[in-house]
Amino acid sequence: MDRFLKAMRSLRFRLMLVNACVVLLASMATLLTLRAGMQFALLHELDQILSEDLSEVELALAAGDDARSSELREQLERKARGHIQHRWFVQLLPVAGISGGEASGPDAAGTLLLASVQADGNRWQSVNTPAFLRDHPGPLHSPTTLEGYRIHTRTIGKGQGVLTQLRIGASLDLIRRDLALIDRITGVVMVLGLIIAPLGGYALAGVATRPLEQIIRTADRLRPEQLDERLPLRGRGDELDQLSLAFNRLLDRIASFLERNGDFLANAAHELRTPLAALRSTAEVALRSERSVTEYQDLLGTIIEEGETLELLVNQLLLLAESEASVDSVVTHGELTDLGAVIEQACDMFAGVAESRSIELTCQTLPQVFVRGNRQHLRQVMNNLIDNAVKFTASGGRVDVRLDLGPIPRTARLVVSDTGVGIPPADQPRLFERFFRGERSHRRDLPTRGTGLGLSICEAVVKAHGGTIEVASEPGTGSCFTVTLPLGVP
């Protein structure tokens, strides 16, 4: 029962159902249209024959044949017998109240001037009987369908004072028989369709859904630690191939994301291990033997320094995680931040360091340039960029910070340029990678040693704010970092 319910919920079953309904409805509509067309064509053909017969008899009458002449009567009798299967008949009757002689007056409506006579068949008899005429004494619309007969009528003798109505008709039985045959064929075709459409639909849906089953099986086999399997492409370029392609691309992205995260974790652990090891060994040295107060003070100073390095690293890791998690939400829900004020604060903070290293730091901002986002994070971007610029610029150099509206509409542009050491072209593409440090920055003995997280934090924050960050640099000449941020709507 469960398997049956599961099969009924399957895509294959639904495709089959839709396919069967469409095929059945389409064939039903076709057959019904055909039937209506056939009915119209048969009736039209009969109408044409009757109309020709009408003209023929009218001509014979106009040629002077008396309606009661035995020759005409015989001729019509012959024709009636010849068309017995159609129950063909002809009647000539005076139009009540107008024609003269014995047929005048309403009571005379039943008096036929001429009627073809057929011996067989009750219905035929009834058409020829005065009773039929009594029921329909007046002029009939032509052509008309009456009691299973198709009847054409023409009023003749106009202008001679005597009006006579000529009626020629035939039974619709043959047409009905033909239509009944079509109905039977329709019925058989529908029954066959009812059997074949679902079976064919089920087989077709099976062909269409087989690749999906393969996708499901492959997806089931995938594990986060083993993502090297990819879906095979059938090379048809259809939607299923596109689905497989999209699925494979998703797997590529997940695999590279997991790899990056794995590397990040390993790097983070490695970076944390160095100050931790330094902390521990300094403490061990302090405990190994009795020392003077100055020696203890020195060792404790080292411990505090390593503690600060650890704190900085942990804070930067937290900041990175926070800004990566806040993509989109920070722009929509962030506070309106005056970018000029944030930049001026950052410049003020570095003015002392720059001065002590004889670096000229200039700061050019614009008032009322607002962006929506996290003020603390934006401040961190400024700090990192100015810190790097000052760090990597020798005494006598300059660092320029500028805020303007830039060439892109509705964006603010922040440029931090320096006349420092510059960045080798080979390093430039890797600059925003986590823990990436240039040659100079690796050296523990130099004051410029950093964590390698500063620019990746800048990139994560700027991206979270819907902006971009770019670098242009030439070794020996200097570097220029450009941040573009969308202006905030108050």
* Torsion over CA: 72, 157, 128, 83 (sign): positive
Site for ligand ADP contains 438 (CB under 6 A): yes
CB of residue 254 to ligand ADP, shortest distance in Å? 26
Q: Does 143 sit behind a cis peptide bond, omega within 30 degrees of 0 on the bond before it?
A: yes
Among 341, 436, 468, 482, binds ligand ADP (CB under 6 A): 436
Closest approach, Cβ 236 to ligand ADP, in A, equals: 47
Residue 454 sits in the site that holds ligand ADP (CB under 6 A): yes
Stretch binding ligand ADP (CB under 6 A), from 92-100, 113-121, 295-303, 415-423:
415-423
* CB within 8 Å of 306: residues ≥ 6 apart: 275, 276, 278, 279, 282
Amino acid at 444: R
CB of 13 to ligand ADP, least distance (A): 57
For ligand ADP, what does the binding mask look like between residues 170 and 209, x meaning CB under 6 A?
----------------------------------------
423 contributes a contact to ligand ADP by CB under 6 A: yes
**Cβ at position 399, least distance to ligand ADP in Å:** 9
Stretch of residues binding ligand ADP (CB under 6 A), selected from 151-159, 223-231, 291-299, 430-438: 430-438
In the bound state with ligand ADP, the residue whose beta carbon lies nearer, of 153 and 451, is: 451
Q: Is the dihedral of CA 250, 252, 256, 259 positive or negative?
A: positive
Min CB(326)–ligand ADP separation in Å: 20
- By CB under 6 A, the residues from 355 to 394 that bind ligand ADP are 384, 388-389, 392
- The pair of structure tokens assigned to 194 is 């009812």
Integer CA distances (angstroms), 119 to 123, 126, 135, 355, in order: 11, 11, 22, 133
DSSP code per residue over 413-456: EEEEEE-SS---TTTGGGTTSTT---HHHH-TTSTT---S-HHH
The helix (H) or strand (E) run that includes residue 157 is none
Q: How many residues contact ligand ADP, by CB under 6 A?
A: 22
475-479 long-range CB contacts below 8 Å, 24 or more apart? 475/421, 475/422, 475/423, 475/424, 475/425, 476/421, 476/422, 477/419, 477/422, 478/393, 478/397, 478/417, 478/418, 478/419, 478/420, 478/422, 479/389, 479/392, 479/417, 479/418, 479/420, 479/422, 479/423
Stretch touching ligand ADP by CB under 6 A, among 94-102, 167-175, 255-263, 417-425: 417-425
Instruction: Determine, following the binding rule CB under 6 A, whether residue 320 of this chain makes contact with ligand ADP.
Output: no
Among 27, 69, 441, 482, binds ligand ADP (CB under 6 A): 441
Among 94, 450, 467, 488, binds ligand ADP (CB under 6 A): 450
Q: Enter the DSSP assignment of 95.
A: P
Q: How far is the CB of 9 from ligand ADP (least distance, A)?
A: 53
- Asked if 479 touches ligand ADP (CB under 6 A), the answer is yes
Binding site for ligand ADP (CB under 6 A): 384, 388-389, 392, 418, 420-423, 431, 436-438, 441, 450-456, 479
